[in-house]
Structure 1
């Protein structure tokens, strides 16, 4: 089955190697965070390819000769991590894309049977003329990310075309759920996983990301 039109798998040998390290049992808490930070920085480059540039002139060091250059016109972007694990991705993203606005979304599961979630935090910067990049480490069932898009569109009146979703890992189940409900929302991921096990855990995955990132052992 082909991927939905709104989905892009971002493949790069260095990122594939980082995902392998994330999966390893021996990877320390600090190293786990460093790897996610670096993938967040990679998102910062890949997801800003359409930033507009303008032509200009600068005085070159050291002879002050005038040379033509191109600069970013504006950064009408906001990065929105889904708490908690998305925070480290946002830090990496911001490290290469500053200055950039930042929002936060937090969700708690209200039904363990249906995996439905409800927000406990919705904090977004000024909405006018801005594209929002929503970051999470894993899209498993897709319920959380769909809820994020629902809130941003229905409650905050952000157009679907101005919402971009990015995750380190995604499952076919999560990908389909987002595509069916929000086909106009672009989705990016760095690894397509095999799927969900009987407990709706991602396989092969890299374990409980929040526990490994923050030491909730």
Structure 2
């Protein structure tokens, strides 16, 4: 996949990603199509974010002869969707990483203050020894992203990556300031946030559009 990269920020500009994202942005895109397209983009982003996973050579036997074949080395990684919208990215990621562990981070945005409020957290006991991919379609104010990464770092995690569908410049700046060691993967960077903390032009509330709760 082609893309652009600057100082820990990776933008997947592949035509398939951009085409599918454009379809998702349309106001009349039904929830069923929105979910499917999000899963497809998540799969493409998963391909990109795992590009540098370490490999090791293991002996196998083909139908014709023995050989050394590459396998991903180390412990299986952890997919960590931020509830609820992050669940929309999970199946697409699991399609490529079926053996991954799944953590859940329950965070909602206080509509008055836009601050993140945690209500649930569950992760594998050895999460600190694994690569963690934090999943959330929208990087807007970054309050939820920062809170989720704070939680994993409190559990001893040192290898964390953040994956989103859309990002606002304000959210990127805040996440980079709070966690400069956490690289960001996104499909697009939009213009700005509005007064209500929504990304413009954006695609609306991702959670509502995924689950049909508009």
Q: Which residue of 2 aligns with 1:15?
A: 17
2:42 is the alignment partner of 1:43:
no
Structure 2 spans left out of the alignment, 5+ residues: none
Give the RMSD, CA atoms, in angstroms.
1.8
Instruction: Name the counterpart of 2:117.
Output: 118
1:48-127 alignment, distance < 5 Å: 48-61=50-63, 64-110=64-110, 112-113=112-113, 115-125=114-124, 126-127=126-127
Query: What secondary structure sits across from 2:210 in the alignment?
Result: helix
TM-score by length of 1: 0.89
Moved more, 48-57 or 37-46: 48-57
Paired positions, count: 209
Distance 1:72 1:46 in 2: 15
Is 2:194 aligned against 1:192?
A: no
SS at match of 2:57: strand
| 1:201 lines up with 2:203 in the alignment | no
Q: Against the structure 1 CA distance between its residues 179 and 31, is the aligned structure 2 distance closer, same or farther, given a 3 Å change threshold?
A: same
Structure with max Cα Rg: 1
Return the offset for 1:97: 1.2
TM-score, length of structure 2 as denominator length = 0.90
Shift of 1:211: 1.4
Q: Select the residue among 5, 8, 30 that pairs with 1:6.
A: 8
Does residue 163 (structure 1) correspond to residue 163 (structure 2)? The answer is: no
1:32-60 deviation digits (Å, cap 9, x = unpaired): 00001111111221111222222244333
Structure 1 runs of 4+ off > 6 angstroms?
none
Unaligned runs of 5+ in 1: none
